[in-house]
């Protein structure tokens, strides 16, 4: 009882105020190879929008097999990716469709050999929608902006959402572009850990505006680590370690997020009110039968 009173024991929460999320760190990018040896290499402009390595693509294949063998591919209703190449390639490679052919009536999610990947085209059929969301991008540093992304999108459309070809990937960029500048990025200021964690919380709150209950998010190590660290205060110490340890490349963790602040407005589709049917009194039924007789 003491554990339960302290919030460390078993608890209950309405199912319709929960979502299952599947957090994925992108597979190995070319920046990880040098960055794991010398952290300063991550500051190189050459690695800002790094593509996956061949090992990274092997990691994608392994996770794709797991997603299918575990049945997750049948449950996930939406895939959200950071708008950087390594996350988009991972999202498409893991969750994209099978068996694309040039005779298909739909565009591929990724064309053959995109980004010198030496990979076959990936189909957009029989897979969940894949969208990009800028608020789950990596830790913002003063060296690099997403300006080239903005320019690419502005050249194609003016609306808040569209499906476009971006680095040979067909993805939906849903965010509202308010200017020709990267409004999250500051040229001379590095995003603080507190700002990153706040951005992560805002992203999770945004998930409650989505109708989907089973969502995969493909993002970055720093974003995951600092966001999860900001949310683990009420957990048992062992659960904190499980939640907040750094993600390996292409690691997937399944978690549940709970709407404690009542942000969501959905009602349960599985609950039943249990109302008792209204029957006539027994004497009225007898009297009615006598009349009919």
218: its two tokens: 């493909």
pLDDT of res. 258: 86
pLDDT of res. 188: 54
pLDDT of res. 176: 39
pLDDT in tens, 107-161: 777 877 776 788 888 888 889 988 888 889 877 654 443 444 443 444 333 333 3
- Backbone conformation region of residue 113, classed left if phi is above 0, alpha if psi is from -120 to 50, else beta: left
Complete DSSP assignment for 90-130: HHHHHHSBS---TT-SS--SB-TTGGG-----BB-SSS--E
At 30 the three-state DSSP class reads helix
Residues 6 or more apart from 286 whose CB is under 8 A from it? Answer: none
| Helix extents (H) in the chain | 2-5, 30-35, 54-69, 72-75, 85-95, 147-154, 193-207, 221-229, 237-244, 282-292
Residue appearing with tokens 């794709």: 64
Structure-model confidence comparison of residues 39 and 220, the more confident one: 220
Burial zone of 200 (CB within 10 Å; 0-12 exposed, 13-18 middle, 19+ buried): buried
What letters, b where the CB count within 10 A reaches 16 and e where it falls short, cover 174-198?
A: eeebeeeebeebeeeeebeeeebbe
- Cα–chain center distance at 204: 9
Task: List C-alpha distances in Å: 139 to 125, 142, 242, 286.
Answer: 32, 10, 22, 76
Residue appearing with tokens 């080239």: 148
Residues 6 or more apart from 16 whose CB is under 8 A from it? Answer: 264, 266, 267, 268, 269, 270, 271
Closest CA to 209 of 26, 51, 28, 80: 80
Choice among 73-87, 160-174, 189-203, 254-268 with the minimum mean pLDDT: 160-174
- Predicted TM-score (pTM) of this structure: 0.77
Note if 26 is an active site residue: yes
Residue 94 and residue 67 in contact, taking contact as beta carbons nearer than 8 Å: yes
* 179 confidence band (pLDDT: 50, 70, 90): very low
Whole-number Å distance between alpha carbons of 136 and 202: 9
Instruction: Please state, rounded to an integer, the average pLDDT across all residues of the chain.
Output: 75
Whole-number Å distance between alpha carbons of 208 and 196: 19
Kindly state the greatest CA–CA separation across the chain: 96
Note if 73 is an active site residue: no
- Cα–chain center distance at 180: 26
Catalytic residue among 51, 133, 134, 138: 138
């Amino acid at each position: 009882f003491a554990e339960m009173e302290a919030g460390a024991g078993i608890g209950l929460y309405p199912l319709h105020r929960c979502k299952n999320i599947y957090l994925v760190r992108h597979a190995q990018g070319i920046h990880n190879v040098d960055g794991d040896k010398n952290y300063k290499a991550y500051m190189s402009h050459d690695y800002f929008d790094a593509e996956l390595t061949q090992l990274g693509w092997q990691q994608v294949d392994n996770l794709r097999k797991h997603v299918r063998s575990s049945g997750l591919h049948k449950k996930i209703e939406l895939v959200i990716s950071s708008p950087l190449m390594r996350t988009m390639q991972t999202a498409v490679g893991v969750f994209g469709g099978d068996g694309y052919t040039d005779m298909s009536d739909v565009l591929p999610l990724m064309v053959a050999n995109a980004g010198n990947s030496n990979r076959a085209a990936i189909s957009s059929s029989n897979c969940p929608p894949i969208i990009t969301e800028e608020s789950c991008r990596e830790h913002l540093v003063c060296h690099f902006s997403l300006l080239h992304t903005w320019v690419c999108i502005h050249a194609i459309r003016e609306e808040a959402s569209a499906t476009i070809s971006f680095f040979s990937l067909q993805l939906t960029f849903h965010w509202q572009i308010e200017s020709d500048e990267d409004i999250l990025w500051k040229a001379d200021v590095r995003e603080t850990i507190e700002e990153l964690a706040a951005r992560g919380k805002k992203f999770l709150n945004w998930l409650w505006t989505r109708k989907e209950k089973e969502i995969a998010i493909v993002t970055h190590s720093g974003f995951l680590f600092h966001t999860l660290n900001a949310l683990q205060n009420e957990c048992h110490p062992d659960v904190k370690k499980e939640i907040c340890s750094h993600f390996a490349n292409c690691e997937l963790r399944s978690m549940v997020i709970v709407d404690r602040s009542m942000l969501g407005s959905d009602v349960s589709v599985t609950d039943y009110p249990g109302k008792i049917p209204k029957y006539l009194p027994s004497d009225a039924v007898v009297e009615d039968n006598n009349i009919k007789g």
